[in-house]
Structure 1
Amino acid sequence: MSDLLRVATAGSVDDGKSTLIGRLLHDSKNVFADQFDAVEAASRRRGLDAADLALLTDGLRAEREQGITIDVAYRYFATPRRTFVLADTPGHVQYTRNMVTGASTADVAVVLVDARHGLVEQSHRHAAVAALLGVGHVVLAVNKMDLVDFSEEVYDRIVADFDVLADELGIRSVTAIPVSALHGDNIVEPSENLSWYAGQTLLEHLETVPVPPRGGQVGARFPVQLVIRPRSAEHPDYRAYAGRVAAGVLRVGDEVVVLPSGRKSRIAGIDTHDGSLDEAATGRSVAVRLEDDVDVARGDLLAAAPDAPEPVRQLTGRVCVLAERQVRAGDRFRLRAGTREVRAIVGSVADRLDVTTLKREDADALELNDIGDVTLRLAEPVAVDPYALSRGTGSFLLIDEATGATVAAGMVEQPPAV
């Protein structure tokens, strides 16, 4: 999976996110002829002389009519060097939850800034959300350089301001690129208008930026999704546990512990539809066989024995509210972590986070799009890692028990105490 890069774009309204992605798709020859014909026809209906490439990503009718991005639009494309998943996320504060969704799996965040306006409040918010979600690398795309006469001085001032912000947020890896998405300057091909810039184009950078390790900083983690027991004449004694490796690498012969029970065994085999493997890396879907006949069920976690997390019945997490329902102390939910679901009660709401300033404010409840810290009491033990160490086993959902709707997405904020 090293050739796959997940990219999330973010920026203020009218900064040109959708146009940038449309230009990237078009100029890299990843747009079908009929798609482009449809965009040209829609552009003519709007009275435009040229194709509005933003329409390649603004798929919802409401988005097309308002000229803004509301939902998260995913686009897939490939070059000879790499395959990409692009998430065009909303810019407005009222769609913070959508940006959290789009950036939660991203390896790289592209933050667009209008060269005419420099950093604005939403620029701070988008950088802060990227930092909160542990996105490993940020690209600062200073867009609309054509509207400031391709000024190097304007570009340098914006880059200096963003460097200060990145330092405050703890973002360690930032690359700045001056672009004009509307005209294609520095998107796929180098721009003669930006001859003072000696760096890579946006596509060149995305093709070559190292993919951050997706396994996190913990040992192997394997949430069990299904117990496989065919009980057939051909395989009378076959028993395996299917799922996707959430972190680290599983290897035949490694010692693992089954959580929350604490029973230990070793990996006897790793099976796939195409045959057996000696090891399986993060993101690989496999069936794992164990040497011992231990009790393993859906919702259990197979973890590398040397650094297995301690199952807990209380944790502290930072949550983003995704539904039009308050989250307050005493509320009951079902908590889903990996493949495990348990009943949970909100013990307390500690505060609400201002994602623009990163200051914490006192709060009794969290509303739609709010991000804040909560404590949760669990009816049964759950094995989790801090989100900073492992996205795969450090995230969770809070689900409405009555409707089954997802109310909030959370990140385990600290090593939980037993």
Structure 2
Amino acid sequence: MEINDNNQLLRFTTAGSVDDGKSTLIGRLLYDSKSIFEDQLESVTATSSKKGHEGVDLALFTDGLKDEREQGITIDVAYRYFTTPKRKFIIADTPGHIQYTRNMVTGASTANAALVLVDARHGVIEQTKRHSFIASLLNIPHLIVCVNKMDLVDFSEDRFNEITREFEQFSSKLLVKDIRFIPISALLGDNVVNRSENTSWYDGGTLLNILETLHISSDINKIDARFPVQTVLRPQSEKYRDYRGYAGRIASGIYRIGDEVSVLPSGFNSKIKSINTGEIEIEEAFAPMSISMTLEDDIDISRGNMIVKKNNQPEPSQEFDVMLCWLNNESAKPRAKYIIQHTSNEERAMIKEVVYKIDINSYERQKGNSTLEMNDIARVKIRSTHRLMIDAYRDNRNTGSIILIDENTNETVAAGMIV
């Protein structure tokens, strides 16, 4: 089945060290692609002149928090939406500081691509490796390495090639399939939206051109059909008197009318009778569409159940290994009970064991340390009260991810990828 890349939504995240120019780059993308409202432009122009800046400080388009504007840093995930004739985009601008690993995990978890910024003067540093490692861990399919501030190294081709070699050397250990390199100056706009006359030696596309043409259809798992039920629709109207639809968002795969399906965890089988998007009936649906479907048999189905193909089912499991990023200020309590959320299903669970923690600067595994502090990434064993219909995260990002919630405070304390 062909899914057209045009007009698809592309989510991307930015990563890099503090002052590498991430917010300026996003500001430049928005500014040069004419995706900024006039009142925003007036507000930022006024703030820029108040601060004594020459021209418009592009970084202010994304720095929404008061602390950020005062310190000139990004300390929260700032989401921005913009659109071009070819594609729609959601940007997650994430912090560069080491203490904000959790924000990067949050911003990158749904991304198709990650923009990793490298300062042309400093080259590949520890934080470049750390952010690239997290992007790899989160299974982000495309990595775009933006070698920024090329104007400060006289747009040197040799310097660009040196950084490319340096990055390729360490990235051979990463699991990212598609890595591209682009020389830019976010401040001056070289190769961001418009081609640069200063890099005649570079024959690749501009950043916007790469983002608009990135092939993302194959990022979606079309093989394993997974439909977590979010709610059961029983409209009390004359037109739909006997309608019993199961609504939700397709996590992966393709569903067609007449397909033989199984309902998990009960294991009952049936066939798809109808598929609707809104009030329109369609013949087939695929991820990530939101739909409702009806089945030929009257089966007891509720929120948290999963409708899958009869011959392709996830593994129901109560105990499994997870790469967990701890997000909370309070450290993880050994064997404490948490609410685990997996797709639309909520159960209670506990962290049975911390197998090892990862030093995300050196990638080394640290064994024998069972405490989890904020921003720690660790492989842990989790046990839930009931079986969950899980896939490995590398095969299916939607059915392979979980979050843990503190049942007393209702805070999300951890996010994890099922190994």
TM (norm. structure 2) is 0.96
Check conservation: 1:113, 1:123, Cα contact below 8 A: yes
Deviation at 1:45, TM superposition (A): 0.9
Q: Encode CA deviations 1:72-97: one digit per residue, 9 max, x unaligned.
A: 11111111111111111111110000
SS of the aligned residue for 2:99 comes to helix
SS of the aligned residue for 2:393 comes to coil
Q: Which residue of 1 aligns with 2:126?
A: 121
Q: Which residue of 2 aligns with 1:399?
A: 405
Q: Which residue of 1 aligns with 2:387?
A: 381
| Identical-pair percentage | 50
Map residues 178-327 of structure 1 onto 2, 5 A cutoff: 178-216=183-221, 218-327=223-332
Give the Cα–Cα distance (whole angstroms) in 1 for the partners of residues 14 and 379 of structure 2.
Answer: 26
Q: Which residue of 2 aligns with 1:416?
A: none
Q: Which residue of 1 aligns with 2:150?
A: 145
Q: Which residue of 2 aligns with 1:101?
A: 106
Higher mean alpha-carbon deviation, 1-10 vs 98-107, is at 1-10
SS of the aligned residue for 1:94 comes to helix
Deviation at 1:212, TM superposition (A): 4.6
SS of the aligned residue for 1:129 comes to helix
Q: Which residue of 2 aligns with 1:68?
A: 73
Higher mean alpha-carbon deviation, 354-363 vs 221-230, is at 354-363
Q: Which residue of 2 aligns with 1:408?
A: 414
Check conservation: 1:12, 1:92, Cα contact below 8 A: yes
What is the number of equivalent residue pairs in this alignment? Answer: 413
Check conservation: 1:328, 1:348, Cα contact below 8 A: no
Q: Which residue of 1 aligns with 2:341?
A: 336
SS of the aligned residue for 1:372 comes to strand
Deviation at 1:217, TM superposition (A): 6.1
Check conservation: 1:136, 1:212, Cα contact below 8 A: no
Q: Which residue of 2 aligns with 1:7?
A: 12
What is the RMSD of the two structures over their aligned residues, measured on CA atoms? 1.3
Check conservation: 2:139, 2:175, Cα contact below 8 A: no
Q: Encode CA deviations 1:129-185: one digit per residue, 9 max, x unaligned.
A: 100000001001000000011111111000001111221113221110000000001
Deviation at 1:232, TM superposition (A): 3.8
* Residue 320 to residue 218, structure 1, CA distance change in 2 (3 Å): farther
Deviation at 1:326, TM superposition (A): 1.7
SS of the aligned residue for 2:198 comes to helix
SS of the aligned residue for 2:242 comes to coil
Letter in 2 for 1:24: L
Q: Encode CA deviations 1:88-113: one digit per residue, 9 max, x unaligned.
A: 11111100000001111110101000
Check conservation: 1:328, 1:349, Cα contact below 8 A: no
Deviation at 1:213, TM superposition (A): 3.1
Give the Cα–Cα distance (whole angstroms) in 1 for the partners of residues 233 and 203 of structure 2.
Answer: 56
Gaps of 5+ in 2: none
* Residue 261 to residue 152, structure 1, CA distance change in 2 (3 Å): same
SS of the aligned residue for 1:190 comes to coil
Give the Cα–Cα distance (whole angstroms) in 2 for the partners of residues 215 and 291 of structure 1.
Answer: 28
Gaps of 5+ in 1: 414-418
Check conservation: 2:325, 2:375, Cα contact below 8 A: yes
SS of the aligned residue for 2:390 comes to coil
Letter in 1 for 2:399: T
Check conservation: 1:327, 1:367, Cα contact below 8 A: yes
Q: Does 1:18 align with 2:23?
A: yes
Give the Cα–Cα distance (whole angstroms) in 2 for the partners of residues 53 and 178 of structure 1.
Answer: 19
Q: Encode CA deviations 1:313-351: one digit per residue, 9 max, x unaligned.
A: 111111111111222431111111011111112111111
